[in-house]
């Protein structure tokens, strides 16, 4: 599945004659993440960056990185990173506001260390997200929530700002 998502993103990006520098965008986001798994309940800071290409007012592709800041639960320090590639369909509400969804593939790297526990792992799975965005002249502000389908009680919620160039 991840090869299919990457191939689709590459095909969209490499359309001959259709790529314009004005349709690329780049941004940063800040928020938090929440994981509830059994007795573990982690609520901590999330900081990320994204880069995308907007084909038209309805479809974009986006790559992102999110650092899931370290939290300590029962004396075990948990730290993680999320990398993702997504297709982003958009519903314009007017000239400035839009709703969007994200669907793609994500890679989650997690490390846990403390006491008698020291482990790390990587998981890749389908990710999804929902957001709202306000578009100004050459910049935007957005709020979004996203999740990984493999971990049922895992949410990342962020506010971001970006530029178009």
Query: For 76-127, how does the pLDDT look when each residue is reduced to its tens digit (9 = 90+)?
Result: 677 789 999 999 999 999 999 999 999 999 998 877 777 666 776 778 899 9
Determine the pLDDT at residue 64.
Answer: 97
Tokens 């709202």 correspond to 132
pLDDT score, position 16: 41
Express each pLDDT in 33-84 by its tens digit.
887 766 667 788 999 999 999 999 999 999 999 998 777 766 667 778 999 9
Q: Are 128 and 149 in contact (CB under 8 A)?
A: yes
Choices 3.30.360.10, 2.40.160.20, 3.30.230.10, 3.30.470.10: CATH for 2-15+27-164 = 2.40.160.20
The three-point CA angle 47-62-14 to 5° equals 145
- Check: pTM over 0.85? Answer yes or no: no
């Amino acid at each position: 599945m991840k090869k299919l998502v990457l191939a689709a993103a590459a095909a969209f990006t490499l359309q001959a004659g259709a790529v314009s520098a004005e349709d690329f965008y780049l941004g940063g986001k800040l928020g938090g993440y929440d994981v509830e798994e059994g007795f573990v309940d982690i609520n901590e800071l999330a900081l990320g960056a994204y880069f995308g290409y907007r084909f038209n007012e309805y479809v974009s592709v986006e790559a992102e990185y999110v650092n899931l800041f370290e939290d300590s639960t029962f004396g075990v320090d948990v730290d993680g990173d999320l990398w993702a590639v997504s297709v982003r369909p958009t519903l314009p509400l007017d000239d400035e506001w839009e709703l969007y969804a994200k669907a793609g593939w994500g890679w989650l790297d997690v490390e846990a260390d403390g006491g008698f526990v020291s482990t790390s792992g990587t998981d890749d799975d389908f990710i999804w997200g929902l957001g709202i965005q306000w578009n100004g002249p050459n910049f935007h502000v957005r709020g979004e929530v996203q999740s990984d389908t493999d971990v049922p009680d895992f949410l990342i919620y962020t506010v971001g700002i970006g530029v178009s160039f």
